[in-house]
Amino acid sequence: MKTSDKILQMLKIQGELTAKVIASELGLTTMGVRQHLQSLEDSQDVIFEDRKATRGRPTRYWSLTPKSNSHFSDRHEELTVQLIDSVKSVFGNGGLEQLINHREQESLKLYRDELVGTSGLAEKLHVLAKLRTLEGYMAKVEQADGHYWLLENHCPICAAAAACLNFCRSELELFQTLFENDAIVSREEHIIEGARRCAYKVVPHKKENGQ
């Protein structure tokens, strides 16, 4: 993978970063990373913001632009939107809703099958994150203050979700059903609403956290 692609992936997963942090994680010089960032800025894939530091010069933070999405999987956006429009035209909104529900049930069955043999909410979430990453969501799990976060740094069905928000509603309901015996799931950040990622807060039931 090219260095510029590694930088884009880091910014996609971790959010805004300084050149120093990027250089440290990639094992490169800060000067070398700045050159790559300058090239990415020239192509309008990244932008920067200078912030005041407690001492010395301002610190420069780099982040992705919407244009950078072209570097990540998009699941053939144009065709997806066309198919959604066609389903609406031929079968109406009810037909589209049936399609979304079918997709949700198929995904639920797949995830449940993969979670067989797992024990505990944490293990289940990590298995789910791996499955979602394979599907293009760049997912990971974090834990904080007695609850978990399922973080999805990319949406490979973004075009479909933008064309029909019921896809997003369905994905949230899918996770809620999948973990109904283990936790309460809510979506706290949403790519479609302008967030950098989709963030699902997973709060264990009392029996899980021992309260």
Per-residue pLDDT of 95-108, as tens digits, reads 889 989 999 999 99
Q: Could you confirm whether domain 77-209 is CATH 3.30.1380? A: yes
pTM listed for this prediction: 0.70
Using one digit for the tens of pLDDT, what is the confidence trace for 14-39?
A: 999 999 999 999 999 999 999 999 99
Residues of the chain with CATH 3.30.1380: 77-209
- pLDDT class for 210, splitting at 50, 70, 90? very low
pLDDT exceeds 90 at position 130: yes
Tell me the CA distances in angstroms from 209 to 129, 172, 203, one per residue in order: 21, 22, 9
With beta carbons less than 8 A apart as the criterion, state whether 41 and 47 touch: yes
Considering only residues 38 and 159, tell me which one the structure prediction assigns the higher pLDDT.
38
Q: Which CATH class is domain 3-71?
A: mainly alpha
Look at residue 33 in the predicted model and tell me its pLDDT.
Answer: 97
d(CA 74, CA 87): 20
Residue span(s) of the chain under CATH 1.10.10.10 come to: 3-71
